[in-house]
Structure 1
Amino acid sequence: MANSPSNQPVRSISLPSRPHPLVPQIDEHVSKLRSSEVVSTSVSQLSSLGYKLSILKDLYECLENLILLPQNQQKLMLFSNASSIDELLDGSLRLLDVCGIAKDVLAQVKEHMQEILSSLRRRSNTDLSIGDEIVDYVNMRKKTRMTMKKCLKDVKGLMKRFTSQKGDHENAAMVDVLREVEGVTAEIFESLLEAISGSKSQFHKRNASLSIVMCKLIMYQNEESEEEEESKNEFDDVDSTLSSLVITQKKRICLNVIQAENLRRRLVKLDSAIQDLDEVLEGVFRCLVKTRATLLNISYY
């Protein structure tokens, strides 16, 4: 029987055109990370970043499993001496450096915040003077912003490079996946660095050209309100509050009870946000190290 099913060619279900189940998962993670509606707009900027970093961690776990598939390792070995793998290894090293620096900056901020909180706890409500801890924090933030600015320059350079490589069909599909993941990682790190840097204090923007007398008058008016306006970024809230207080440092003006409580509340809120951010960032850092180690092992096999 010419038309017998047994005489028809059998088509394998493992055709190259059939993607591995991990590929759609990676695509889904990348889409989520690039979506502007990942979380509710009512969530703070740091909470949103924490959520995206957790997705990024899941993305790298999927990527690691995809790389370890024998067929993909063989494909990557073919590119072990190619410039594309060298660029990926260079990109992974830069992203690791940026992640490590971000972690160090968060640790510095946390340490200085603890000193301020300890100082506030030691003082009575009648002696809430502006201590050196606050000035040290403000100076530290100026230095960290310079560090973040340098890191942002490196990250944007990576993003520009990844964009220029899109549409390069000479590379294996696995190389393109790695490029895509490093590209979206750079985008998330850019948002992270910008959030940690914070914006310049609105108080200083508004009063940069005003006299000292006018600054003190505005501060006095602000002190009359128990509930100060808060932004979506906990770094901005603390930076704005402390920068405003430092203006009175030369006169050694004491904080009133409302100011002290507002400062405590904002410091505790930022401390909690940093704790959550640092935990998930540590997970991302470990994933970056693991993926880089895997690529190095394949490239030098």
Structure 2
Amino acid sequence: MVGVFRRSLSFPNKPNPNRPSKPTLSRHTRSISLPCRSHPLISQLKDHISELQSWSSTCDSSSAWLVDGLTRLTELHHCLDDTLQLPQTQEALRRQPHYSSVENLLEQFLRFVDVYGIFRGSVLALKEEHSAVEVAIRKRDESRVGLYVKARKRVANEMSKLVNEVRMCTRSSEPVSPNTVNVGDVELAAVVSDVVKVTVMVSVALFNGIALSFGPRKSTTWMNMGMMKKGKVDDQDQGIHEFEQVGVKSLLGLRKKGAEEVKFTLKKMRELEASIEGIETCSERVFRSLINARVALLNTLTS
């Protein structure tokens, strides 16, 4: 009976130590490694890229539309920075022969940083002239209007140059050379390449929109003719609505205008100033995110 009692106290459901099984933990460990096509950060990058491509197809030529695009671009580069910080991503980049692909990507991001640095300087100078001419309008002082008009033309010329400069990023070789042996490397290469392309796309929309708003129509439109075959944003031949509402003609003949007309002009100038400040703030965030991404790439190359 004792033997039977002891058998009744046995636990048949207790896991057998001789047969360990941890399939769930094993699968979870594999899911967080790179390169892996199902990695969540890669999926997030793809989602951001897809959203920006959809954004480009809904162009309405407004400052709000540009602000939205710049905000989405900042989020994309934040996600890219997180991806580049991963040791697995750095290992994948180091597998590229002689680091040539990573060096090329560094050059592309350096160009982006330089371009947005120049843009920030141009916008700052324009804001100063804008504030000065607002004071002149209140005083009906036309002497300052000429300087403001020259400042607008100067900004338009600089934006046209930036369009050509930023386009150089897509004319170089692929940023990361696909490794036919490692599927994860191929996927990473394609995603990073798309990040560069959408960065160029948003940047062209921004610089080109300002150039068209402040510069001569013929010269800027002629420049766009070579772009029309390359994307929906590139064939945009309209300036930014808020920028175009304050034309040069509305600033002339201040002494002959009535009080209501001057008041209306000042209102449009304040709206333009708000639009410029919104774009400036968002472009500053893009600038910082580009620097962070480049630093992450540089750490990969030097570590």
Please confirm whether the aligned pair reaches a TM-score higher than 0.5, indicating the same fold: yes
Matched, 1:180 2:182: no
Residues 26 and 201 from structure 1, CA distance in 2 versus in 1: closer, same or farther, beyond 3 angstroms?
closer
Alignment of 1:127-138 (within 5 A): 128-129=140-141, 131-138=142-149
**Larger gyration radius, structure 1 or structure 2:** 2
* Aligned partner letter, 1:184: V
Residue 133 (structure 2) aligns with: 116
Task: Return the offset for 1:26.
Answer: 1.0
Residues 62 and 157 from structure 1, CA distance in 2 versus in 1: closer, same or farther, beyond 3 angstroms?
same
Residue 89 (structure 2) aligns with: 72
* Aligned partner letter, 1:259: E
Residues 160 and 262 from structure 1, CA distance in 2 versus in 1: closer, same or farther, beyond 3 angstroms?
farther
Residues 96 and 200 from structure 1, CA distance in 2 versus in 1: closer, same or farther, beyond 3 angstroms?
closer
Q: Which has the higher contact order (CA 8 A, sep 6+)?
A: 1
Residues 232 and 64 from structure 1, CA distance in 2 versus in 1: closer, same or farther, beyond 3 angstroms?
closer
Residue 299 (structure 2) aligns with: 297
User: Which consecutive residues of structure 2, in runs of 5 or more, have no partner in the other structure?
Assistant: 1-18, 219-238
For the Cα contact (< 8 Å) 1:201–1:236, is it kept in 2? no
Residue 271 (structure 1) aligns with: 273
Alignment of 1:77-92 (within 5 A): 77-79=94-96, 81-92=98-109
2:118 to 76, 85, 101: 101
1:256 to 234, 238, 258: 258
Residue 66 (structure 2) aligns with: 49
Residue 49 (structure 2) aligns with: 30
User: Which consecutive residues of structure 1, in runs of 5 or more, have no partner in the other structure?
Assistant: 1-5, 206-230
Matched, 1:158 2:177: no
Query: Number of residues paired by the alignment?
Result: 254
Residue by residue over 1:99-144, the C-alpha shift from the partner in whole angstroms, topping out at 9 and shown as x without a partner, is 11221121122111111112233x2xxxx35x22211111111111
Q: Distance in 1 between matches of 2:56 and 2:168?
A: 26
Task: Return the offset for 1:167.
Answer: 11
Q: Distance in 2 between matches of 1:62 and 1:9?
A: 32
For the Cα contact (< 8 Å) 1:46–1:273, is it kept in 2? yes
Residues 102 and 201 from structure 1, CA distance in 2 versus in 1: closer, same or farther, beyond 3 angstroms?
closer
Task: Return the offset for 1:267.
Answer: 0.9
Q: Distance in 1 between matches of 2:201 and 2:249?
A: 29
SS at match of 1:19: coil
For the Cα contact (< 8 Å) 1:106–1:278, is it kept in 2? yes
* Aligned partner letter, 2:295: A
Residue 245 (structure 2) aligns with: 237
Residue 58 (structure 1) aligns with: 75
TM-score with structure 2 setting the length: 0.73
Task: Return the offset for 1:176.
Answer: 3.1
Task: Return the offset for 1:245.
Answer: 4.2
SS at match of 1:169: coil
Q: Distance in 1 between matches of 2:241 and 2:302?
A: 44
1:194 to 208, 232, 239: 208
1:144 to 136, 144, 155: 155
Q: Distance in 2 between matches of 1:297 and 1:114?
A: 42
